[in-house]
Amino acid sequence: MTQPSSERGQGAADVDLPTQYQPANVEGRLYERWVSAGYFAADAARDPSSPSYSIVIPPPNVTGSLHMGHALDHSIQDTLVRRRRMQGYETAWVPGMDHAGIATQNVVERELAKEGKSRHDLGREAFVERVWQWKAESGGRILGQMKRLGDSVDWSREAFTMDDDRARAVRTIFKRLFDDGLIYRAERIINWCPRCLTALSDIEVEHADREGELVSIRYSDDIVVATTRAETMLGDTAVAVHPEDDRYRHLVGTEVELPLTGRRIRVVADEHVDPEFGTGCVKVTPAHDPNDFEIGRRHALPSITIMDERGVITAHGPFEGLDRFEARPAVVAALREEGRIVKEVRPYEHAVGHCQRCATVVEPRVSLQWFVKVEPLAKAAGDAVRDGRVEIHPPEMAARYFGWVDNMHDWCISRQLWWGHRIPVWYGPDGETFCAGPDEEPPAGWTQDTDVLDTWFSSALWPFSTLGWPDDTPDLRRFYPTSVLVTGYDILFFWVARMMMFGLYAMDGVEPFKTIALHGMVRDQHGKKMSKSFGNVVDPLDWIERYGADATRFTLLRGANPGGDVPVAEEWAQGSRNFCNKLWNATRFALMNGAHVRGPMPAPAELSTVDRWILSRLQTVVAEVDDQLEHYEFAKACETLYHFAWDEVCDWYVELSKVQFDDERAEATRRVLGEVLDTLLRLLHPVTPFVTEELWTSLTGAETLVKAAWPAADNDLLDKEATEVVESLQRLVTEIRRFRSDQGLKPGQKVAAALDFGGSPLAGHEEGIRSLARLTAPGEGFAATASLPVEGVTVQLDTAGAIDVAAERKRLDKDLAAARKEVDQARKKLGNEAFMAKAPEAVVAKNRERLAQAEADIKRLEAQLAALPAG
């Protein structure tokens, strides 16, 4: 529906834009058109002279759905990719999913349980086939949700960490690492889930503070140890003290009897022990504690496993067969009966690791596993950042990266699962070992290792396996190394470091990405972590449904400072929706009044001061936004665009342009307004792609904004003189509006006023000033009741009859009395010598601020009272 011609300016035109912006009517339609037209597709052979830009998406789990962390991560990547595409780069944004070994196996096992079956009822081959079937039917919902968000990924490149190409890459790098002695099998302490029955990587373990019980146990007259896991004492093989601790020096090398067991264990000296903590003695259980395992290796201690893979006690004796949590109080009771408890059990809060997938308490456990020897790989990963080949942004995050890669332990890569890349090692009848590459077959009759690889092993190959490695492909040559990796700082070590290690190793020292751009976690408006238990989780799909994808993206990016956490709130999403509506209404108004981008721009000399001002401001904004996005300052870029669009374009320029549509300036103004909106929509497109596409194509008649050129600032259009004049006009109008508000006048209420410009350059803008300030020309009987001298202009207003003078005077008198009381109190405190001598400087400063503010309020209120008409 278009506005009636009587309500539109001369030169107005009919427009196809609806009166209101409805995201649901736009987003799906536009996305389908973009994909069908191939706008997002990358071609390694296309225009080799153009620069390349590539990003591989952090592959979401095949079991996952879009959450706020994904929405933030994807919005950042899409903003980067869309901008580079507009800048003429050949852009490849590669989508895909991770097979998520434990999570996916758990999902399918739960489905089987509903049928009264387990995976063992099916057998390995049939179970794996069942998982593939689940993946085809139910997995990958998140890919469709990415489309809802507007991800401009190249869908023709979609990859999966378990597809044939990725499987070949996994076999290839495993074989190379194995042959180079960088993969080995050994008994080591690992994280073990007694429910999932598999080893876990560190990222699959979530630590949370839990209240346990600290038990102090007397091993001998001289030795008392404290523990929160009393059941593990059944596996102690030593007591450790610090070598410099004079209290226990005489005991080092002796033996003590381990309570409840009758075994004799050694007292050893080890620098790991903190002599200031507790009694300075620690129990050493090498098979069930990572620190104790290292102490055991240093002192050649035996390692005794006292529980099985399900956490059930296997140590011979009265506790055999008890679950670990049943054994704990039973062991304490037995120790108490023997008089071994030194002090009563007391509460003790400490961090406890839980399986990320099933929330079971993780058990450190010695197990025969496969490991990557990380020392040379980690050193290369550290050097790549130190020598500047890879930039971490923000730079302060580099210290955290070095803290991890410089102290990395060998990586346990085997998992006791059926879903995943099976370890390509076969065992012969006499214990022989054969590692098969992707094109090799093991000897007949040999048995393959039953374990699969850690999910992170295959995802560590993502930047190059998705581009065709191990083959030398055109994609690999054009798009590797990738341009930037965008991810949360929480997986800087767990995934980023692994990609660095494998990328440098597989690609002959060439880094997998040039820049690591880290963002924070999405939190609620109070900075609290989102959690179902807190009831503060926000579903981005709900926001997309109610406010639109653009509003959701803009809300997230407006809070995305490099490396910092991102707070969000629903009212902010509502504000972003209002911003999209503001753009819609402004563009629709412009089109109805004939704004266009046809033909060349008029020369500056042919433009009004207001037109030259907005074009000058536009060049500044283009330069600022370009620099901000180049340095990953998404929050600053959004703020710049928001305030320029809303405050300067909509609230000032559009309003001022209205008075120019009916005179000789009309055609030039229509062209300038079209130019401003054209550039503004281009700048906003990477952040809010849908609404800008719909508006820009309506404005320009062009096919798509996706491929439109990115704006470049034109310094020749910077105009200091025009800017100073319009800024003076803004200050004048703002002061008049403030006076109106102080007098209780409604925003739309007209007031008669006489304007004396003297020699002010604002004389040529009287019509615009009157329009913006809601001032009418003086009529018969005009009598000024107030006078405002602002910006060299004297504004005389007749407010008689416009306000209730008596009520307004009463209100101002009340406020004035309160301000005077505030001044008296502040002066009294600041004049009190005792207060000034004892009060902190911050308190004194606050009182001085209160005094200054109250004095300013008195001056303002007295002026307002003086401006009231008599009566």
Q: How far apart are CA 25 and CA 38, in angstroms?
A: 22
Q: How far apart are CA 562 and CA 543, in angstroms?
A: 24
Q: What SS3 state is found at 755?
A: strand
Residue type, 729: L
Residues 6 or more apart whose CB falls under 8 angstroms from that of 485 comprise 55, 56, 58, 463, 496, 499, 512, 513, 515, 516, 517
Q: Which two tokens stand for residue 832?
A: 């009190």
Residues 6 or more apart whose CB falls under 8 angstroms from that of 271 comprise 242, 243
Identify the H or E element spanning 192: strand 183-193
Residue type, 480: Y
Residues 6 or more apart whose CB falls under 8 angstroms from that of 523 comprise 529, 530, 565, 566, 567, 568
Q: CA angle at residue 291 from 286 to 296, to 5 degrees?
A: 40
CA distances from 509 to 154, 177, 517 (A): 27, 15, 21
Helix then strand then coil, % of the chain, to nearest 5: 45, 20, 35
Q: How far apart are CA 693 and CA 684, in angstroms?
A: 10
Q: How far apart are CA 89 and CA 709, in angstroms?
A: 11
Q: Which two tokens stand for residue 199?
A: 């080893």
Across 328-353, b (16+ Cβ under 10 Å) vs e yields beebbebbeeeebbeeebeeeeeebb
Residue keyed to tokens 């590459």: 437
Residue keyed to tokens 């410009």: 757
Q: How far apart are CA 864 and CA 91, in angstroms?
A: 60
Residue keyed to tokens 């929160």: 228
Q: How far apart are CA 704 and CA 152, in angstroms?
A: 14
Q: How far apart are the first and last CA of the chain?
A: 51
720-742 and 766-773 are packed helices; what angle lies between their axes, rounded to 10 degrees? 40
Q: How far apart are CA 845 and CA 854, in angstroms?
A: 14
Strands 425-427 and 447-448: antiparallel
Strands 363-372 and 452-453: unpaired
Residue 532 assigned as binding residue: yes
Candidates 397, 394, 400; CA nearest to 560 is: 394
Cα 137 to its chain centre, rounded Å, is: 30
Task: Give the other-Cβ count within 10 Å of 311's Cβ.
Answer: 21
Residues 6 or more apart whose CB falls under 8 angstroms from that of 524 comprise 530, 534, 536, 538, 567, 568, 569
Task: Give the other-Cβ count within 10 Å of 119's Cβ.
Answer: 20
Residues 6 or more apart whose CB falls under 8 angstroms from that of 721 comprise none
The partner residues of 364 in beta bridges, in order of sequence, read 191
Extract the annotated binding site. 532
Extract the annotated binding site for ATP. 532
